[in-house]
Amino acid sequence: MEQIKQQTDMDKRILIIGAGVAGINAATKLVDNGYPGELITVIDRGNDPHNRLPEEVMTGMLGAGGWSDGKLTYHTAIGGQLSKYCGEEKAMQLMDQVISNFRRFHPKPEEIFMSDPQEEPEFIKPYFGLRMFPVWHIGSNYLHEIAKTWYQYLVDKGVNFSWNTTITDIDFQDLIIKYKQGEDEFVALNAYDKLIFAVGKSGIDFAQQLSDTYKLPTEPKSVQIGVRFEAPQKYFQKLIDISYDFKLYQKFDNVSLRSFCTNNNAAYVAVEETYGDVSYNGHAKKGEEFRNDMTNFGILMEIKGIEDPFKWSRDVVQKCQTLKLDLGADWSEHGGGLYYSPSREISTTSEYALIKATKVGDLGVFKNAFGEYADYIMNFIDNMNSVFNFGDDWGMYIPEVKYLSPEPLVNYHDLSLTTYPNVHFVGDALSARGITVSGAHGIYVAEKLIQHSHLVELTQLLETE
């Protein structure tokens, strides 16, 4: 029996790159099921929970989830792909496990609460649908404590952690990894048997680098592009009272539109620079001193059937860059994207600087850039006006864009690369966009690794009998 055990998959070394939500949930599921912690190594470019600083938003124990808003969404249509891989019922079950892990390591689990709007309000009909889904509120103030307790649990189970260690290259063929600690570079040969790649958003460039090197087959992605809408909060208050981060949506044949990432109370439009171009996003500040009683949200279109969505989106974004347009000196000197409003002026950032945008008097440049799709956005705004009656008291920053990085093609049953079956992609690295789905990816892979171990063990046992 002893000899058989040595040959089973329970003896495979599992390397997890990224101590974020996905990686940590995977490690937890493994050790909870008796996988020897000593065979699991978690590497992260950030700090352990005792040394992680508040400004380290994306790296360290629990990754981006560690300093997040702590809102655990509980619906398979929110937060990225999950049921696509494992079916609806299993997806909900996996999300339950993530939520229960946060509860388990929470210092005051009784303070976790769930908001669960039930009915679409009559007043948004017949123009819009409202996406409603339960959200568990962990309390962002507790995440740090959760991270510490969770970490200790894994350390006690024997899991190895390597902090402040950045993986810079992986040789999938020969199982070699290159990594940096400070300025020093190292190479580890025969570094793993199974690899869980969980680098999140902060590792997106690294994921792209690997995808290019290994010419990984990818899933086609749709375009997500639109504008950031801004208006005084009072017009939307009756909807905010029902759902703080409301998600209005409209669906047409090949285009669907939704409001995205709503900010209220102290809501500021934020400039994003991607690939050297300006686009817009928004954020809400905490603290009464920042209150401006504004609401902003993206109006994003998902357009199906565009041949090269990435190139098309970049093209649209570039056509909105005023520095690149021949619009006359008084415009182009401002730079940034476009701002259009029938009555308002450009707002300020939370640091009280003018938002980098150029105000345009008509919709010509916008319509030229977006083509026929500009009408969908204007129609969405007109419909909102019918419901919320904001008249001319609104503005929009153009464009807002989500460049969905190509998603590597994985085997749906265990999220392993179709070309390297011992490498599993999880979390935001596999186009998740939230804590619950990312954690669920991690648990899903861990379950498959455990099942596989038991299967190998059983087969070998039968063979020896």
Ligand X SMILES: Cc1cc2nc3c(=O)[nH]c(=O)nc-3n(C[C@H](O)[C@H](O)[C@H](O)COP(=O)(O)OP(=O)(O)OC[C@H]3O[C@@H](n4cnc5c(N)ncnc54)[C@H](O)[C@@H]3O)c2cc1C
DSSP 400-435: EEE--PPEEPEETTTTEESS-TTEEE-GGGGT--SH
The token pair at 21 is 């939500």
CB of 230 to ligand X, least distance (A): 20
Site string for ligand X, 61-80 (x = CB under 6 A): --xxx--xxxx-x-----x-
Determine which residue in the list 178, 201, 359, 454 makes contact with ligand X, applying CB under 6 A: 201
Paired with 209 in beta bridges are none
The token pair at 145 is 């404590």
Judged by DSSP in three states, 292 sits in coil
Closer residue to ligand X (CB): 42 or 357: 42
Size of the site for ligand X (CB under 6 A): 42
Q: Which of 423, 396, 387, 392 is nearest to 408 (CA)?
A: 423
Site string for ligand X, 5-44 (x = CB under 6 A): ------------xxxxxxx-------------------xx
Cβ-closest position to ligand X: 20
What type of residue is 272?
Answer: E
CB of 156 to ligand X, least distance (A): 21
CB of 208 to ligand X, least distance (A): 12
Which sign does the torsion angle of CA 185, 210, 84, 305 carry? Answer: positive
Q: Please tell me the distance from the alpha carbon of residue 35 to that of residue 384, in angstroms, as a whole number.
A: 53
Closer residue to ligand X (CB): 45 or 228: 45
Q: Please tell me the distance from the alpha carbon of residue 369 to that of residue 100, in angstroms, as a whole number.
A: 46
Site string for ligand X, 162-181 (x = CB under 6 A): ----xx--------------
Q: Answer yes or no whether residue 49 interacts with ligand X by CB under 6 A.
A: no
Site string for ligand X, 123-162 (x = CB under 6 A): ----------------------------------------
Q: Please tell me the distance from the alpha carbon of residue 94 to that of residue 289, in angstroms, as a whole number.
A: 40
Sole window of 185-193, 200-208, 330-338, 348-356 interacting with ligand X (rule: CB under 6 A): 200-208
Q: Answer yes or no whether residue 428 interacts with ligand X by CB under 6 A.
A: yes
DSSP 368-391: HHHTTHHHHHHHHHHHHHHHH--T
Interface ranges with ligand X (CB under 6 A): 17-23, 43-46, 57-60, 63-65, 68-71, 73, 79, 166-167, 198-203, 206, 427-429, 432-436, 438
